[in-house]
Amino acid sequence: MPIRVLHDGWPLVHTPLSSAALHLRTLLALAPQETEPLLALPVASAIGTERERVEIVHQETMDAGRWQQQTLPRLAEKHLADCIHTTQTAASLLGKIPAVVSPAETAKPARGSRLAEAQGFGGLARATVLWPQDMERPNLPGRIVTVPQGTHPDFKHGHAALPAELGLPEEFILVHTHLSQEQILSLLESWTWAAASIGEPYPLLILGLEDPINEFASKRLPEFHVEDSVKLVPKIQDEHLPGIYQASAAVVHLGTPSAWGSSLLHALACGKGIVAQENSTVEAIVGKAAYLVPARDLRSFGAAMITVVVDEKAREKLEDAAWQRAQQWKPADFQSELLKVYEELA
């Protein structure tokens, strides 16, 4: 009998452009043939039905803590799931169904009450935590199992022209990650050093910011005099994401990325050069495919953005390194190791 895996679909509904949602889509796209994937959603929706093998189940709720601690385990029992797989960094503390956790969050989300947050973290101690093989092991409770990195296959394929109604520039530098207010200010300050040189032909496209941060960023653009060279796109259909990455001139990342589903992985899969801040997690993911700058050196960060799009040799070197890096990640290897984890729990 196939192994029934209940996937936690909360991010697809509430943060559809987040690392957690994108990694979940990768898990569904690369679900081993020996499994029967179910997608649990907190609303009635057709999300995920583009994958023929995915069965949708749902239970209406707006309480994140209740969803994690009570609803998911009940849905798993009702639908005879062998395990629950979540891309959030939390698991049910008292649920009877084994949990697999792929931590793909770049910021600590609110899960309702402090009790719910404590229960979610406590539940990790009973869970199997998946972690990429090429990254340093995390300081998380639970049984850590390392597996090969996995990326969504759509990012490696060619794409059709992006719809004109998206209103995107022909060429652009892409930023697609969770950003704090402080990081927004740092990014805009860095961009002031680059905008005068490349802002007109290569505007900065900031994608997927949640409403409060997007509003904060929008109000700050005039203060930095970059409203003509920065485009904020808070919402977009996820089906357009691969095309947007492939159309970009380069990808910029600030801060520490999530282990799974980050923009760094998607940039590498599309063979794009990267500008990022120096830290060990970034270096473990990108190898030689990124121009890395000290986090506090905002002027050099702006100069790096100029270099990646203007210096053709530097750009080609980074793109070649990105392709080589991405070729190391074989979907079959990811599926094989993932299946072993599911089989053990089943």
- Assigned architecture for domain 3-150+330-345: 3-Layer(aba) Sandwich (3.40)
Whether 38 and 27 have beta carbons less than 8 Å apart is answered as no
pLDDT at residue 174, as a whole number: 97
Whether 100 and 148 have beta carbons less than 8 Å apart is answered as no
pLDDT at residue 233, as a whole number: 93
User: For the CA atoms of 34, 35, 36, 38, what is the dihedral angle to 10 degrees?
Assistant: -160
pLDDT at residue 129, as a whole number: 96
pLDDT at residue 166, as a whole number: 82
What is the rounded average pLDDT of the residues 93-99? Answer: 93
pLDDT at residue 86, as a whole number: 97
pLDDT at residue 78, as a whole number: 96
pLDDT at residue 45, as a whole number: 76
- Summarised one tens digit per residue, pLDDT across range 139-171 is 888 899 999 999 998 888 666 667 777 888 889
What is the rounded average pLDDT of the residues 286-295? Answer: 93
The predicted model scores a pTM of 0.94
pLDDT at residue 85, as a whole number: 98
The least confident of 136-140, 203-207, 229-233, 322-326 is 136-140
Cα angle 257-40-261, degrees, rounded to a multiple of 5: 15
What percent of the chain clears pLDDT 70, i.e. is strictly above it?
Answer: 95
Q: Supply the DSSP symbol for 340.
A: H
Q: Residue 122: which pLDDT band, with cuts at 50, 70 and 90?
A: confident
Q: Supply the DSSP symbol for 256.
A: P
- Residue 262 pLDDT > 90: yes
pLDDT at residue 163, as a whole number: 75
- Summarised one tens digit per residue, pLDDT across range 213-228 is 999 999 999 999 999 9
pLDDT at residue 164, as a whole number: 78
- Summarised one tens digit per residue, pLDDT across range 97-116 is 999 999 998 666 665 667 77
Please, where in the chain does CATH 3.40.50.2000 lie? Answer: 164-327
Whether 277 and 294 have beta carbons less than 8 Å apart is answered as yes
- Summarised one tens digit per residue, pLDDT across range 20-61 is 999 999 999 999 999 999 999 998 876 765 556 788 888 988
pLDDT at residue 160, as a whole number: 61
CA distances from 194 to 17, 201, 221, 255, 270 (A): 27, 12, 14, 19, 24
- Residue 63 pLDDT > 80: yes
Please, where in the chain does CATH 3.40.50.11380 lie? Answer: 3-150+330-345
Q: What is the mean pLDDT of the chain?
A: 91
Whether 72 and 66 have beta carbons less than 8 Å apart is answered as no
pLDDT at residue 51, as a whole number: 57
Whether 123 and 93 have beta carbons less than 8 Å apart is answered as yes
pLDDT at residue 67, as a whole number: 94
User: For the CA atoms of 264, 269, 274, 280, what is the dihedral angle to 10 degrees?
Assistant: 40
- Summarised one tens digit per residue, pLDDT across range 265-282 is 999 999 999 999 999 999
The CATH code of the domain at 164-327 is: 3.40.50.2000
pLDDT at residue 134, as a whole number: 85
Phi, psi for 35 (deg, rounded to 5): -110, 160
